[in-house]
């Protein structure tokens, strides 16, 4: 049986370097001659994505649960695309995924279980890499502080929820992929090397069916 493409998610705090690292990872795949596609959540190009974009830029207000469901719906509208790509052997790299959804909404005081529910059944990543950086270090990087959630106290709470998710994924002994923390305070090239070392074993495809969250 031929292998399917690997499903790789890069998560992290704001300004931890997710977009930088997902772009570098895509370039690695291309240089290795392996088909790969980069997706980003929120995908601000869809109708739902445009509502999310205006919320994040604070040009519109929405109930905390309503925006949470829109972020989830924005993932569900891409599920068939993800499944089709993986089925033909293309690697899918995601810049944020369901874990961001839980981390940000739970940080506003909504229960963890409620936050997780709408994402149940989404494709589960084969590997999730969490770019960890202190809010202090993130603050020194370009563009920080322009959007709604980019405040130090919020980022600290978000980090705590991400660590809880990581422990559940790694500690549960379940088959829902691997979660690895990476120190994203290091230089870009160093982080890139660590990311590739973890991704390379899966890069040319994985055996077995795509798993589901959670």
Helix (H) or strand (E) holding 73: helix 64-76
Residue 151 found at the interface with ligand T5A (CB under 6 A): no
CB of 124 to ligand T5A, least distance (A): 16
Q: What are phi and psi of 132, to 5 degrees?
A: -100, 130
The rounded distance, in Å, linking the Cα atoms of 18 and 162 is 14
User: To which residue do tokens 């929820």 refer?
Assistant: 161
Residue 26 found at the interface with Na ion (CB under 5 A): no
Helices 188-203 and 18-31: angle between axes, nearest 10 degrees: 50
Tokens of 129: 């890499």
Residue 155 found at the interface with ligand T5A (CB under 6 A): no
Contact of 28 with 164, CB cutoff 8 Å:
no
CB of 104 to ligand T5A, least distance (A): 3
How many positions of this chain bind ligand T5A (CB under 6 A)? 23
CB of 74 to ligand T5A, least distance (A): 7
Span of 78-86, 161-169, 186-194, 198-206 interacting with ligand T5A by CB under 6 A: 186-194
Residue 149 found at the interface with Na ion (CB under 5 A): no
3-class DSSP state for residue 174? coil
Q: Nearest 5 degrees, angle CA 113-CA 164-CA 185?
A: 135
> Residue 201: is it exposed, middle or buried by C-beta count within 10 angstroms (0-12/13-18/19+)?
exposed
Residue 17 binds which one of Na ion, ligand T5A, none, with CB within 5 to 8 A depending on kind?
ligand T5A
Span of 30-38, 58-66, 94-102, 175-183 interacting with ligand T5A by CB under 6 A: 94-102
CB nearer to Na ion: give 89 or 185: 185
Restricted to residues 36-75, the positions that interact with ligand T5A (CB under 6 A) are 41-42, 56, 71
Span of 15-23, 125-133, 156-164, 172-180 interacting with Na ion by CB under 5 A: 15-23
Radius of gyration of the chain (CA): 16
CB nearer to Na ion: give 18 or 116: 18
185 C-beta neighbours (distance < 10 Å), count: 16
User: Half-sphere exposure (CA, 13 Å, Cβ side) for 138?
Assistant: 25
Residue 19 found at the interface with Na ion (CB under 5 A): yes
For Na ion, the binding residues (CB under 5 A) are 18-19
For ligand T5A, the binding residues (CB under 6 A) are 12, 14-20, 41-42, 56, 71, 96, 100-101, 104, 141-142, 147, 149, 187-188, 191
């Amino acid at each position: 049986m031929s292998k399917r493409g690997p499903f790789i998610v890069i998560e992290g705090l704001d300004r931890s370097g997710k977009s930088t690292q997902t772009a570098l990872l895509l370039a690695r795949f291309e240089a290795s001659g392996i088909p790969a596609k980069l997706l980003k959540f929120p995908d601000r190009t869809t109708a739902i994505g445009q509502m999310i974009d205006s919320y994040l830029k604070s040009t519109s207000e929405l109930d905390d649960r309503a925006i949470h469901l829109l972020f989830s719906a924005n993932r569900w509208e891409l599920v068939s695309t993800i499944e089709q790509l993986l089925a033909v052997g293309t690697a899918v790299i995601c810049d944020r995924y369901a874990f961001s959804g839980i981390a940000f909404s739970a940080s506003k005081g909504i229960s963890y279980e409620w936050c997780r529910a709408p994402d149940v059944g989404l494709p589960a990543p084969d590997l999730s890499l969490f770019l960890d950086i202190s809010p202090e270090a993130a603050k020194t990087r370009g563009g920080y502080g322009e959007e709604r959630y980019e405040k130090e106290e919020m980022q600290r709470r978000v980090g705590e929820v991400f660590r809880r998710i990581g422990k559940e994924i790694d500690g549960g002994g379940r088959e829902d992929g691997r979660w690895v923390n990476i120190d994203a305070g290091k230089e870009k090239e160093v982080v890139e090397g660590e990311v590739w070392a973890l991704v390379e074993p899966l890069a040319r495809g994985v055996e077995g069916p795509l798993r589901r969250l959670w």
